[in-house]
Amino acid sequence: MPTSKSESIIIVGAGVFGLSTALELKQRGYSDITVLDRYTPPAVDGSSVDISRIIRIDYADPLYCKMAAEAYQGWKTEYADHYYESGFALLSEDANNDWIAKSAATVKANGGTVEDLPDATQLLKSYPNIQSNLSGLNGYLNRRGGWADAAGSIQKLASRCSVEGISIITGPRGTVLSLLQEGSRVVGVNVLSGGTIRASQVILSTGAWTNRLLNVAHAASSSGQPVGFIQLTQEEARALENTPVMINMSTGIFCFPPTPGSNILKLARHGYGYANETTTSNDGNRTISSPKLQSSNAQTGYIPDDADDGLRDGLRRFFPKFANRPWSNRRLCWYTDTPKGDFIIDDHPSLKGLFVATGGAGHGFKFLPVLGNYIADCFEGKASKDLREKWRLLPSPGDSKEYNMAGDGSRAGPPLRKLSDLEKSKL
């Protein structure tokens, strides 16, 4: 950390990790903070954007359950204008889903309650507007959960940063190409336009783009997860009002109620995704999986054919009435995968002046109201030893083998697949 709170700090990335860190550090007295990003938040192709993200306290891991319960209070108060308490149903086609059982036990141990669903059709008693085929599914319902307007929440967070006097630079001047180093110290960043920007401390909150700037392939990688949107009429959307967020833990497909106002229906898959292999010249010619850097990853609306098939299968299960309705939009949402689904929030083990706050692993957004506090505690060395160890950035072992980024056990669906050259050309 800087020796003085007046020294300059650059935060690369204006997603939930970067903005929440910037705001918390500013409120702790750090006076010179600049956030850099390719796009104005909410970034069009970031993982903290579009119309909805699940808000839940349901975790098999006690730490994240505790953090999510704390964040939930923020969604109910400070961010209440962007939060919709629809309820959250975790369902499975298997008779005994281990992750669901552990999650239910953890929620209860943390003071929460769940409603067991040995037969998921029991959901219809509480949500008669559900139009899903729930036969053969089981799990539980947690009424303490739902979804948030992701883009609106990030926009509010960015506005709060601006009001606090935090500089947010976007476009070519905010597009970071590499770290600026002097020996073993990081002293700033090299940007697409304008040469360099120097700082006493650099914080990387670059999500799925992290491996472009720093070789952390042993600790994190990137995968694209399919998302699809369907435009409903107002009458169709009204017929689905007061329905919960639902996830099929056997396929990874999850869905939201129609978004009020726009009447858009959204489905996605929390799975192992697709790798977009590319070569980066930083730290040598390394092959990594990463989204594009200098253009939007959401522009084409392309997803692989087998991803489309998977979403269609989910649509037939959750919304059979719209099984053949054309997509109004599709895209790949880019995860920052880690071996156990843990965040990476730590000083770099060998580069002075560099702090890393990344590794959302597909579940970081929900912590928006409290994430900055946890990151700032790690930055200042105030977090507990156990927490720092859990989020530690381990040194690279120095080999080139592929590492297992399976996450915390909550994912489902097909295994990770590398995109073909033809598929990559369509992104």
Taking only the tens place, the pLDDT of each residue in 337-373 is 999 999 999 999 999 999 999 999 999 999 999 999 9
**Angle at CA of residue 89, ends 274 and 156, nearest 5°:** 70
* Residue 3 included in any domain: no
Helix (H) or strand (E) holding 155: helix 150-163
**Rounded Cα distance, 30 and 165, in Å:** 11
What's the pLDDT tens digit per position in 49-88?
A: 899 999 999 999 999 999 999 999 999 999 999 999 999 9
Mean pLDDT of the chain, nearest integer: 96
pLDDT of 157 > 70? The answer is: yes
Kindly tell me if the per-residue pLDDT of 154 is higher than 70.
Answer: yes
DSSP structure string for 80-98: GGGEE---EEEEESSS--H
Kindly report which listed range (171-185, 231-245, 393-407) carries the lowest average pLDDT score.
393-407
Q: Which domain holds residue 166?
A: 8-425
Residue 1 lies in a domain: no
* 2 within domain boundaries: no
Residue 37: which of 50, 29, 47 has the closest Cα?
47
Number of domains observed in the structure of the chain:
1
Question: CB-side exposure of 254: number of CA atoms within 13 Å?
Answer: 25
What is 177-193 written as a DSSP string? Answer: EEEEEETTEEEEEEESS
Q: How many helices (H) and strands (E) would you count in the chain?
A: 11, 24
CB atoms within 10 A of CB 111: 10
Any domain includes 177: yes
Q: Give DSSP secondary structure letters for 372-384.
A: HHHHHHHHTT-S-
Q: How confident is the model at residue 281 (pLDDT cuts 50, 70, 90)?
A: confident
Residue 360: partners with Cβ closer than 8 Å, 6 or more residues away: 15, 16, 17, 47, 207, 335, 336, 343
196: tokens are 């360099």
CATH number for 416: 3.50.50.60
* Burial readout 135-169 (b: 16 or more C-beta within 10 A, e: otherwise): eebbbbbbbbbbbbbbbbbbbbbbebbeeeebebb
Alpha-carbon distance 299 to 295, whole Å?
8
- pLDDT level of residue 397 (50, 70, 90 thresholds): confident
pLDDT of residue 2: 66
pLDDT higher than 70, residue 1:
no
Residue 301, Ramachandran bin (φ over 0: left; ψ between -120 and 50: alpha; else beta): left
Cα torsion 117, 366, 151, 406 to 10°: value is: -80
Helices marked H in 29-149: 62-76, 98-109, 123-126
Asked if the model's pLDDT at residue 32 lies above 70, the reply is yes
pLDDT computed for residue 400 by the predictor: 63
* pLDDT value at 47 more than 70: yes
Q: Classify residue 279: in a domain, yes or no.
A: yes
Classify residue 352 by its DSSP letter: B
Q: What is the dihedral of CA 122, 126, 128, 133, to 10 degrees?
A: -30
User: Looking at residue 121, what is its pLDDT?
Assistant: 98
pLDDT band for position 296 (cuts 50, 70, 90): very high
Report the share of the chain in percent with pLDDT over 90.
94
**Residue 15: pLDDT over 80:** yes
Angle at which helix 16-27 crosses helix 368-379, to 10 degrees, equals 60
Which residue(s) pair with 35 in the sheet?
A: 11, 168
CA distance 367 to 249: 21
Amino acid at site 48: S
pLDDT attached to residue 240: 98
- Tens of pLDDT, residue by residue over 93-152, are 998 999 999 999 999 999 999 999 999 999 999 999 999 999 999 999 999 999 999 999
For residues 264 and 150, the answer to whether their CB atoms sit within 8 Å is: no
Q: What are phi and psi of 213, to 5 degrees?
A: -105, -25
Domain-located, residue 123: yes
- pLDDT grade for 48, boundaries at 50, 70 and 90: confident
Mean pLDDT of all residues in 396-414: 88
Distances 103 to 62, 146, 161, 297, 408 between C-alpha atoms, Å = 9, 16, 34, 33, 11
The single residue listed with the structure tokens 């979403």 is: 311
Per-residue pLDDT of 80-92, as tens digits, reads 999 999 999 999 9
For residue 283, name the pLDDT band (cuts at 50, 70, 90).
Answer: confident
